[in-house]
Structure 1
Amino acid sequence: MNTIFKDFDDTKEAFFNPKDWQKGVEGFPEICVSTFSEGVIKKFAEMEGVEVIASLYSVNGVIPIYKIKYGGKEIAFFLSRVGAPACTCGLEEVIAMGAEKIVLFGSCGILDKEAADGRIIVPVSAVRDEGTSYHYLPSSEEVKVGKAGIDKVCDCLEKCGYPYVKGRVWTTDGIYRETRKAIADRKAQGCIAVEMEFAAAAAVTEFRNIPFVQFLYGEDNLDSREWEPRGLLCPDLSRVEKYMALAFECGLAL
């Protein structure tokens, strides 16, 4: 084991911290929802009554953070950048601004077609095949999320009429290194889907003691002889927009 990952440092204060970069925002909503689809974020940002309340800044550009009223409660939402390091930086900064509950959702690749095809995937744990989570939690094969949050997501899915499956996922940084052997190995570990952020997002929210849930919807299929891109190359925005409302429901339930 690489000593960088083995020698975990649980010190809460780093050399510089999210609060050094992003100050608290007065009136920042308790619930914050994020996803990776720019099209969906833009769609909701154009709705009546939605306003910009803050921004995330990086050399990649500026990401606005919006506020919407849903179910009688104010909810923040913003676009997460793809990949564990970038995604967790955004989460760290909205927590520093005042977010107290986080809901994240996005697409994934299907590893077990029989279990996951056509269903919302509720991750209960993830194989940690990325680097970010090891800076927030001690080294281990997987990271898990709490049962209470999972149960609340499942209750929302049942209430909203969405078929779902709970299971382990594979979080990896190397999307172009999902070899046949790696896929077979992860399937043997019980992974039903592959994505890029869950393990890290679960780790940072546990480290910061923030209630967190995530759900996934399948796009490309890796449980086949050849890769099936399906909606990954041309996503159905009307479908994903419904998942945004589902994420708001999950936030209210947390």
Structure 2
Amino acid sequence: MAADERQIIPLLEYDASPQAFIEPVDVRQPVDVPRACVLSWFHDGIERLVGRLDGRQVVENRWEDGPHPLFEVDMEGRRVGLVPMPVSGAAAGSLVEELIALGCRSFAACGGAGSLRPDVTLGHLVVVTSALRDEGLSHHYLPPGRVVDADPAAVATLEATLTEHGVPYVAGRTWTTDAFFRETPAKIAARRDEDCVTVDMEAASIAAVARFRDVRLAQLLYGGDDLSGAAWDHRSWRTQHEVRDNMLALAMNAALRMEA
């Protein structure tokens, strides 16, 4: 890229070349793993689920920040993977790259998010239909743009799963940001005006990776802490173990249905 073609902001210097200097297959070789995989930030929930279903670890996957192993469990005679995810879009997106290189192809992600609307109460589920790209990683996978739309087929599968199980939810956009401590009142108001229902740190990033690699991915969030009022309300959102365990079961079902 010539100097006069460069953008003021480096993140906008998108390179559409499909080949990178280091490819995921340079660090991860395909192995016998489930094609359907659940990505979750509920590490304790994954531990409970693996123990309850007699799951096993199939890939160690140890990073500098600790282990992010790929577990396998049996759900009605079918294999499904479970991966405890790292926080932040850069880390999460890179781990998804490695999982794709290993052989996973259909992903259902579940995590918590800050609520930007008062009707998204504690534990209420949100199906991500698009993500506002206020983070870094997605801009290396897709041309510059304000939002990334979710995979409509994967979203439809996730919504069908929730409907069939009688689980209420809302569908909408999430605001993905790198800066947890820079969610200012002005930005919160602006994102709400752009129809953002929640705020999170990974959704846009992993959606961009999935689109770039042409794999299925849907995302399910639940209303955690509340940013919709005059003051922040933590709502003890990390203690919602039953919500998290139910979400993992629903995500497993959806991931397997994507592979049907």
Offset at residue 13 of structure 1 (A): 1.6
> Which residue is 2:3 aligned to?
none
> Which residue is 2:87 aligned to?
82
1:26-45 pair list within 5 angstroms: 27-45=32-50
1:38-187 pair list within 5 angstroms: 38-114=43-119, 116-117=120-121, 119-187=124-192
> Deviation per CA, 1:174-226, whole angstroms, max 9, x where unpaired?
01000100100101111111001000010000000001100100110101111
- In the alignment, residue 145 of structure 2 is paired with which amino acid? S
- Distance of 1:20 and 1:237 partners within structure 2: 38
- In the alignment, residue 240 of structure 2 is paired with which amino acid? D
Structure 2 residue 5 is matched with structure 1 residue 5: no
Select between 163-172 and 141-150 the one with higher mean Cα deviation.
141-150
> Which residue is 2:4 aligned to?
none
User: Which one of 247, 251, 254 corresponds to residue 251 of structure 2?
Assistant: 247
Give the TM-score, by structure 2 length: 0.93
> Which residue is 1:16 aligned to?
22
User: Which one of 213, 217, 220 corresponds to residue 222 of structure 2?
Assistant: 217
Aligned residues of 2:68 and 2:86 also touching (Cα < 8 A) = no
Q: How many residues align?
A: 251
- Distance of 2:132 and 2:99 partners within structure 1: 25
Describe the SS at the equivalent of 1:22.
coil
Structure 1 runs of 4+ aligned residues shifted over 3 Å read: none
* Structure 1 gaps, min length 5: none
Offset at residue 3 of structure 1 (A): 4.3
Give the TM-score, by structure 1 length: 0.95
- Distance of 1:57 and 1:121 partners within structure 2: 30
Describe the SS at the equivalent of 1:166.
strand
> Which residue is 1:188 aligned to?
193
Offset at residue 24 of structure 1 (A): 1.0
Describe the SS at the equivalent of 1:124.
strand
Describe the SS at the equivalent of 1:46.
helix
C-alpha distance 214-87 of structure 1, shift in aligned 2 (>3 A): same
Aligned residues of 1:119 and 1:162 also touching (Cα < 8 A) = no
Offset at residue 7 of structure 1 (A): 2.4
> Deviation per CA, 1:109-165, whole angstroms, max 9, x where unpaired?
100123x32531011111110000000000001110122221111111111111111
Identity of aligned residues (%): 31
- Distance of 1:12 and 1:253 partners within structure 2: 29
Aligned residues of 1:56 and 1:93 also touching (Cα < 8 A) = no
Select between 117-126 and 173-182 the one with higher mean Cα deviation.
117-126
Select between 173-182 and 64-73 the one with higher mean Cα deviation.
64-73
Select between 6-15 and 166-175 the one with higher mean Cα deviation.
6-15
- Distance of 1:208 and 1:171 partners within structure 2: 20
- Distance of 1:134 and 1:48 partners within structure 2: 39
- Distance of 2:50 and 2:229 partners within structure 1: 38
Offset at residue 99 of structure 1 (A): 0.2
Describe the SS at the equivalent of 1:226.
coil
Offset at residue 243 of structure 1 (A): 0.8
Aligned residues of 2:114 and 2:227 also touching (Cα < 8 A) = yes
User: Which one of 185, 203, 209 corresponds to residue 208 of structure 2?
Assistant: 203
* Structure 2 gaps, min length 5: 1-6
Aligned residues of 2:53 and 2:74 also touching (Cα < 8 A) = no
Select between 4-13 and 81-90 the one with higher mean Cα deviation.
4-13
Aligned residues of 1:172 and 1:195 also touching (Cα < 8 A) = yes
